[in-house]
Homo-oligomer: A and B are copies of this chain.
Amino acid sequence: MSQGVEWALHTCLNLSWLDAPVPTSVLATFYELPPAYLNKQLQALARAGILTSTSGPRGGFQLARPPEAVSLLDIVTAIEGPEELFRCEQILRRGPGEHAGVDYRQSCEFSQVMRGADLAWRRELAGKTVADVRTGVERGHPEAPANTRARIAALR
């Protein structure tokens, strides 16, 4: 799984504590990440409708929706793409009992089990939102929001 997912998750959480656009350079400095590459990931989040981008001075990225409406699955899908973890190449078509017209992604037993596991994984991720994580973080570290806002303001 791509490294950018972790960056995207934490960046979305940080943005949920802010209400003005933040440029990539500031967000990158926050965790000492390569700015240009982080920008690439944020572009993907913007294309997915999770962030909105603003050009020019005082521009940057901000959350497009309230954090309650952004699931972790949304973020993972935006970065990794919509493909499922296991992709069935239907090698059964080459086997002895081959039926050329059959879609083995539906009929193959292995495909079904792998798809079920994939759905279980996605269900877990879809059930947690950025707001849920934010609540948990604030419970354990009440100073986190103020720290983040102060650090961002200092880097502007």
Contact = CB atoms under 8 A, between A and B. Distances in A.
Interface of A: 1, 3, 5-7, 9-10, 13, 30-33, 72, 85-89, 91-92, 94-97, 107, 109-110, 113-114, 116-118, 120-125, 128, 133, 136-137, 140-141, 143-144, 147-148, 150-151
B6 A148 contact: no
Given A110-B6, A125-B117, A151 B72 contact: no
Contacts of A114: 72, 125
22 contacts: A1-B85, A1-B86, A6-B86, A6-B88, A6-B91, A9-B110, A10-B92, A10-B95, A13-B110, A30-B95, A31-B91, A31-B95, A72-B113, A72-B114, A96-B148, A96-B150, A97-B143, A109-B133, A109-B136, A110-B133, A117-B124, A120-B123
A91 B137 contact: no
Nearest to A32: B94
Q: How many subunits of this chain does the assembly comprise?
A: 2
Nearest to A89: B6
B143 A89 contact: no
Given A13-B110, A120-B120, 12 more contacts: A1-B87, A5-B86, A6-B86, A31-B91, A110-B133, A113-B125, A113-B133, A116-B124, A117-B124, A117-B125, A118-B121, A120-B123
